[in-house]
Chains A and B, each alone.
Chain A
Amino acid sequence: MKKLIECRHLTCAYGNAVVVKDVDLSVTSGEFVGVVGPSGSGKTTLLKAILKAIPPTHGHIDHSEGLRLAYVPQVETVDWNFPVTVTEVVVMTQSRHKWWPHITSKERADTELVLERLGLAGLGGRHIRELSGGQQQRVFIARALFHQPDLLVLDEPTSGVDVRTRHEMMHLLADLNEGGMSILLTTHDLNGLAAHLPRLVCLNTSVIADGTPNEVLTPEVLERTYGAPMEVLIHGGMPVVLEHGADEVSRRLSRRNAS
């Protein structure tokens, strides 16, 4: 399998603050990789370094020749009031080579195909605010796919969405991966998303573990990653992560209500 990206001893810092340290990571064609870790663990910085949006202070990032990357940002960072329609958002990734403002009929046709593939057929003329949460997510995936990427990079695709949207998103990403798309994403969501992925990377400035969910979602690795004790149960062959302390909180609250 062809290596799409390879990070070797990658270190990134903002001023004196080292955010990502000595990371070795590669993604090969057809893989579906999730990066998990607590807030501030360097997940987004790692993605940005891979996208070459920020330069590493040490180490290297190699892209395979002619690699096309597409990035889907967190929906929470999007200005939903911005005056653009769905079609205008989708064709944005073609901006680099376009010197004429009008969207061509070919672009419109291509956009319709991508929208149809993502279950957004007929919504091209809608303003982005006039969509449901799940549809809004998919518009940004449509924009990424319009770029015809080899590797789809998503930052927290299920953050701030409801359970139904998260399910839709997981199925959509699984469909894309089955169709041959390589995917790299970050997530906070251990049980809802990470446990379902074929490969996980636990990050806390450095890589703590890299492997299948059953290999890396262990109490020992999770404590090193999150700095807090966690319990792992196996349910239907899949790991389910429980936070320690949650039961203690509920005991305290029920005692208080009883008294």
Chain B
Amino acid sequence: MIICLGFDILEPYHFAFFRNGLVVATIAGALCGVLGVFVVLRGMSYIGHGLSHAVFGGAAASAVMGLNYFVGAGVWGVWSGVLIGRIARRRIIGADAAIGVVTTASFALGLALLNRYGQAKKSIEAVLFGSVLGVRTGDIIAVAVVTVVVIAVVVVAYRKMVFATFDPEVAEVTGVQVQWIEALLMVMLSLTILVTMRVIGTLLISALLVIPASVARMTTNSIARMLWVSPAIGAASGFLGMNVAYHLDTSVSATIILVSAVMFAVVYGATGVRGRVRISGLHHV
């Protein structure tokens, strides 16, 4: 037994629910860390919050219609993501407004459906904070599969994704299918939210899509290195946050967010002006 500051730090590992929650929180941290790099560099930090609200609408609709959660919420989330991309591309209204319109409407529809046909209060709490205690093997497999798929896609499409993020106009002219790349990113984000929302909640997803990538940005001037640092920070936040939450008996989501926020503050202080200049170009941080 390892005793530290009066805690038996291995104590929670005796419980299967903790081990399952820890695995999901760590993998989800890494997964959101990878996608967060593109989210943050595109100035779409609000997308995690927005898309998870949209997926809630799909989840509610599928519950009311008796459909499988993954099918209903998945189709809805992917569709919302693609719709946001399409509206934002027309440039009459920006990406932030597009996210606001599509996702709040979707969330409101889900809420209305649950008001009318189900238990709204319970579902909303579950959506916001998730339930790491109720993690099932199926959830772990789903998160792991999406992580492997996302990493594979990012490796294969890395150059196109970077080009389309940095300079979409020239990328298009040189033959990169920018619309497809953007749709692909939205699909990956929707899938990520779909498999992690029930477990870690929308608040945590939003935080994990923004904070690790912003921390990574302060430490490096290379997007390739950001793609290593950001998932590492995300995974570390998930892992440490779970352990701290157990011992302090605090909300898992809130603790993970606080751990990553502390990392942000430390790196912000340590990198000084250099780090601040680097994140000054990021929106919504």
User: Per a CB cutoff under 8 Å, which of A71, A84, A100 touches B222?
Assistant: A84
Asked whether, in the complex, the Cβ of A83 is within 8 Å of the Cβ of B170, the reply is no
Asked whether, in the complex, the Cβ of B162 is within 8 Å of the Cβ of A94, the reply is no
Most buried by B among A85, A92, A147: A92
Complex-state Cα separation, A98 to B160, whole angstroms: 8
Contact with B along A198-211 (1 / 0, CB 8 A): 00000000000000
- Give A81's nearest chain B residue, CB to CB: B281
Interface hit among B172-180, B187-195, B199-207: B172-180
Complex contacts, B171 vs chain A, CB 8 Å: 92, 95
Asked whether, in the complex, the Cβ of A92 is within 8 Å of the Cβ of B159, the reply is yes
Q: Is A167 an interface residue (CB 8 A)?
A: no
> How far in angstroms is the closest Cβ of chain B from A251?
43
Asked whether, in the complex, the Cβ of A92 is within 8 Å of the Cβ of B163, the reply is yes
Asked whether, in the complex, the Cβ of B159 is within 8 Å of the Cβ of A84, the reply is no
Asked whether, in the complex, the Cβ of B278 is within 8 Å of the Cβ of A95, the reply is no
- Interface of B, secondary structure class, is helix
Q: Contact residue range for chain A?
A: 20 to 34
Q: Is B11 an interface residue (CB 8 A)?
A: no
Q: Is B198 an interface residue (CB 8 A)?
A: no
Q: Is B235 an interface residue (CB 8 A)?
A: no
Q: Is B137 an interface residue (CB 8 A)?
A: no
With an 8 Å Cβ cutoff, the count of chain B residues facing the other chain is 31
Complex-state Cα separation, A86 to B48, whole angstroms: 31
Contact with B along A167-198 (1 / 0, CB 8 A): 00000000000000000000000000000000
Known contacts: A83-B222, A85-B221, A88-B223. The answer to whether A53 contacts B172 by CB under 8 A is yes
Asked whether, in the complex, the Cβ of A99 is within 8 Å of the Cβ of B281, the reply is no
Complex-state Cα separation, A95 to B220, whole angstroms: 23
Within 49-104 of A, Cβ neighbours of B (below 8 Å) are at 51-53, 69-71, 73, 77-85, 88-89, 91-96, 98-101
Complex-state Cα separation, A192 to B46, whole angstroms: 44
Complex contacts, B162 vs chain A, CB 8 Å: 84, 88, 92, 95
Q: Is B197 an interface residue (CB 8 A)?
A: no
| 9 closest A-B pairs by CB | A81-B281, A101-B158, A95-B159, A127-B221, A96-B175, A95-B163, A83-B223, A92-B163, A51-B173
Additional 10 contacts, C-beta under 8 A, given A73-B167, A83-B222, A92-B159:
A71-B169, A77-B169, A82-B41, A82-B223, A83-B278, A84-B223, A92-B162, A96-B174, A98-B159, A100-B155
